[in-house]
Amino acid sequence: MRGFSFTNTISRAWKSDFMWSFRRTPVAIVSFFVAMILILGAVFAPLFAPYNPFDPATLNLMNGFSQPMVPNQFTGDSFWLGADDQGRDVFSTILYGLRISLFVGFAAVAFAMVLGVTLGLVAGYVGGWIGALIMRIADVQLTFPGILVAMLVFGIAKGFTPIEQRDEMAIWVLVIAIGLSEWVQFARVVRGATMVEKNKEYVQAAHLNGRRPISIMVRHILPNVLGPVLVIATISLALAIIAEATLSFLGVGAPPTQPSLGTLIRIGQGFMFSGEWWILLFPAVTLLTLALSVNLLGDWLRDVLNPKLR
Amino acid sequence: MLAFTIRRAFQSLIVLLVVGLVAFSMFNFVGDPVDNMLGQERTGADIERLRTQLGLDQPFPVQYYRFLEGAVQGNFGISYRQGRPVSDVISERIAATLELAMVSAILAIVFGVALGVFTAIRRNGWAANIIMSLSLIGVSLPTFLIGILLIYLFAVELGWLPSFGRGETVDLGWWRTGLLTESGRKAIILPAITLGLYQMTLIMRLVRSEMLEVLRQDYIRFARARGLKDRSVYFRHALKNTLVPVITVTGMQLGSIIAFAIITETVFQWPGVGLLFINAIRFVDIPVMAAYLMLISVMFVSINLVVDLLYFAIDPRLRADRSGSGK
Amino acid sequence: MKMKTMLLATLILAGMSTFASAQTLRWARAGDALTLDPHAQNEGPTTALIHQIMEPLIIRDMTGAPVPALATEWGPSEEDPNVWWFKLREGVKFHDGAEFDSEDVVFSFERAMTPDSDYKELLSSVTEVRANGKYGFEIVTDGPNPIMPSNLTNLFIMDKDWAEANGAVKVQDYEGGEDTFASRNANGTGPYSLVSRETDAQTVLTINEDYWGMDEFPMQVKEIIYTPIQNQATRVAALLSGEVDFIQDVPVQDLARVNDTDGLQVITAEQNRVIFFGMNQGDADLTTDNVEGANPLADLRVRQAINMSINREAIQQVVMRGQSIPAGVIMPPFVNGWTAELDAVPANDIDAAKALMSEAGYGDGFSIRLNCPNDRYINDEAICQAAVGMLAQIGITIQLEALPKAQHFPLLGNLETDFYMLGWGVPTYDSEYIFNFLVHTKGEKFGSWNATRFSDPELDVKIQALASETDLEKRNQMIAEIWAVVQAEQVYIPIHHQVLNWGMSDSVGTIVDPEDTPKFKYFEFAS
Q: Which of C252, C221, C403 is nearest to C319 (CA)?
A: C252
Cβ contact, residue pair A61, C399, below 8 Å: no
H-helix or E-strand containing B30?
none
Which of B27, B32, B129, B140 to mutate: most A Cβ within 10 Å? B140
Q: How far is Cα C31 from Cα A5, in angstroms, rounded to an integer? A: 52
CA B240 to chain centre: 26
Q: How far apart are CA C386 and CA C378, in angstroms?
A: 14
Lowest mean pLDDT of A96-100, B97-101, B138-142, C12-16, name the range. Answer: C12-16
With contact defined as beta carbons under 8 Å apart, do A285 and A91 qualify?
Answer: no
By CB atoms closer than 10 A (0-12, 13-18, 19+), residue B108 is buried
Average pLDDT of span C474-479: 94
Please state which of the ranges A10-19, A96-105, B11-20, B120-129 shows the lowest mean pLDDT.
Answer: A10-19
Task: Tell me how far apart the alpha carbons of residues B229 and B159 are, in angstroms, rounded to a whole number.
Answer: 46
Confidence label for C394 from pLDDT (cuts 50, 70 and 90): very high
CA-based nearest distance C129→chain B, Å: 22
Burial degree of C429 (CB within 10 A; 0-12, 13-18, 19+): buried
Q: Identify the pLDDT of residue C505.
A: 92
Report the pLDDT value the prediction gives residue C81, as an integer from 0 to 100: 86
Nearest by CB to residue C237, choosing from B39, B77, B152, is: B152
The reply to whether residue C437 touches residue B267, judged by beta carbons under 8 angstroms, is: no
B121-179 pLDDT per residue, tens: 887 788 888 888 788 887 888 888 899 889 889 988 888 999 888 887 787 777 878 88
Identify the H or E element spanning C128: strand C126-131
Please list, in sequence order, all residues whose beta carbon lies within 8 angstroms of the beta carbon of residue C376, skipping any fewer than 6 positions away. C405, C408, C423
Mean pLDDT of C354-379: 92
CB nearest to C121's CB, from B41, B283, B287: B41
Residue A180 — very low, low, confident or very high, per pLDDT cuts 50/70/90? Answer: confident
Check CB contact of C184 with chain A, cutoff 8 Å.
no
Residues 6+ apart with CB under 8 A from A15: none
pLDDT on residue A164:
60
ipTM of the complex: 0.80
Q: Is C381 on the interface with A (CB under 8 A)?
A: yes
Task: Collect all residues of chain B within an 8 Å Cβ-Cβ radius of residue C263.
Answer: none
- For range C287-302, the mean pLDDT: 91
| Domains of chain A, CATH where assigned | 16-309 (1.10.3720.10)
Q: What pLDDT digit, counting tens, does each position of C246-284 carry? A: 999 899 989 988 999 999 999 998 898 999 999 999 999
Say how many CB pairs under 8 Å bridge A and C.
84
Q: What is the model's pLDDT at position C22?
A: 53
Phi, psi of C215 (to 5 degrees): -95, -20
Q: Single out the residue of B281, B228, B215, B297 nearest to residue B16, CA to CA.
A: B297
Q: Does residue C3 have a pLDDT over 60?
A: no
Confirm or reject contact between B31 and chain C (CB < 8 A): yes
d(CA B214, CA B209): 9
Are A256 and C400 within 8 A, CB to CB?
Answer: yes
Q: What is the pLDDT of residue A14?
A: 54
* Residues 435-474 of chain C whose Cβ lies under 8 A from any Cβ of chain B: 437, 444-445, 448-449
pLDDT digits (tens, 9 = 90+) for A250-276: 777 777 778 888 888 888 888 888 888
**CB-based contact C112:C120 (threshold 8 Å):** yes
Pairwise CA distance, residues C445 & C437, whole Å: 9
pTM value is: 0.82
Q: Is C386 on the interface with A (CB under 8 A)?
A: yes
Burial of C25 (0-12, 13-18, 19+ CB in 10 A): buried
Quote the CA–CA distance of C261 and C238 in Å, as a whole number: 13
pLDDT at C17 over 50: no
Residue, of A267 and C351, whose pLDDT is higher: C351
Which whole number is the average pLDDT over C220-229? 92
Least confident piece of the model among A210-224, B138-152, B261-275, C478-492: A210-224
Asked whether C223 and C200 are in contact (CB, 8 A), the reply is no
| B26 touches A at CB < 8 Å | yes
Give the model's pLDDT for residue A165. Answer: 65
Q: What are phi and psi of C348, to 5 degrees?
A: -95, 105
Instruction: Calculate mean pLDDT across residues C282-304.
Output: 92
DSSP H helices in chain B: 2-26, 33-37, 44-54, 60-72, 86-121, 126-139, 143-150, 182-216, 218-225, 230-231, 240-268, 273-282, 286-314, 322-325
Q: Which residues pair with C274 in a beta bridge?
A: C424, C497
Q: How high is the pLDDT of residue B37?
A: 65
pLDDT above 90 (res B243)? no
Q: For position B29, what pLDDT does the model report?
A: 60
Please choose, from the candidates C157, C222, C230, the residue with its C-alpha nearest in 3D space to the C-alpha of residue C188.
C157
- Bigger pLDDT: C394 or A269? C394
Region C72-98: mean pLDDT is 93
Cross-chain CB nearest to A292 (options B11, B29, B136) = B136
From the CA of A274, how many Å to the nearest CA of chain C?
A: 5
Q: In 3D, which of B22, B319, B275 has the Cα closest to residue C31?
A: B275
Greater confidence, A225 or A165? A225
Q: Closest Cα partner for A169 from C401, C367, C381?
A: C401
Comparing A47 with B324, the larger pLDDT belongs to A47
Helix (H, G, I), strand (E, B) or coil at A294: helix
**CB of B139 within 8 A of CB of B272?**
no
Q: What is the pLDDT of residue C281?
A: 95
- pLDDT score recorded for residue B313: 67
What does the pLDDT read at residue A48? 87
pLDDT at B323: 41
Distances (CA, A) of A213 to A121, A217, C220: 10, 6, 83
Nearest one of C318, C230, C330, C325 to C276, comparing CA atoms = C330
Q: Which of A245-259, C104-118, C236-250 has the lowest mean pLDDT?
A: A245-259
**pLDDT above 50 for A309:** no
Q: How far apart are the first and last CA of chain B?
A: 23
User: What are the two backbone dihedrals, phi and then psi, of residue A200, each rounded to the nearest 5 degrees?
Assistant: -70, 160
What's the confidence (pLDDT) of residue C87? Answer: 96
Yes or no: say if B255 and B303 are a contact pair by the CB < 8 Å rule: yes
Higher pLDDT: B40 or B302? It is B302
Q: Is residue B245 within 8 angstroms of chain A, CB to CB?
A: yes
Tell me what pLDDT residue C16 has: 36
Residues from chain B contacting residue A309 (CB–CB below 8 Å): 209, 212-213
Distances A166 to A53, A170, A252, C13, C286 between C-alpha atoms, Å = 19, 6, 13, 56, 16
pLDDT tens digit string along C164-175? 999 889 888 776
pLDDT confidence of residue C91: 93
Q: Does C3 touch chain B (CB under 8 A)?
A: no
Q: What is the pLDDT of residue C20?
A: 42
pLDDT tens-digit map of C212-221? 999 999 999 9
pLDDT number for residue A56: 84
Q: Is the per-residue pLDDT at B80 higher than 50?
A: yes
Task: Inform me whether the pLDDT recorded for B316 exceeds 60.
Answer: no
Domains of chain B: 1-81+284-327 (no CATH), 101-282 (1.10.3720.10)
Confidence of residue C140 (pLDDT cuts 50, 70, 90): very high
Q: At what angle do helices A90-126 and A166-198 cross, to 10 degrees?
A: 40
What are residue B89's DSSP bridge partners? none
C88 touches chain A (CB under 8 A): no
Q: Classify C267 as helix, strand or coil.
A: strand
Is the pLDDT at B183 greater than 50, yes or no?
yes
Pick C381 or A24 by higher pLDDT: C381
pLDDT at A308 over 80: no
* pLDDT value at C185 more than 80: yes
Whether the Cβ atoms of residue B166 and residue B154 lie closer than 8 Å to each other: no
> For A64, which of C233, C236, C318 is closest by C-beta distance?
C318
Q: Report whether pLDDT(A213) > 90.
A: no
pLDDT digit string, tens, across residues A196-205:
777 777 777 8
pLDDT category of residue C307 using cuts at 50, 70 and 90: very high
For residue B40, the model assigns a pLDDT of: 59
Q: How confident is the model at residue A288 (pLDDT cuts 50, 70, 90)?
A: very high
**Are the Cβ atoms of B19 and A272 closer than 8 angstroms?**
no
- Condensed to tens digits (0 to 9), the pLDDT of residues A103-124 reads 999 999 999 999 999 999 888 8
pLDDT of residue A155: 65
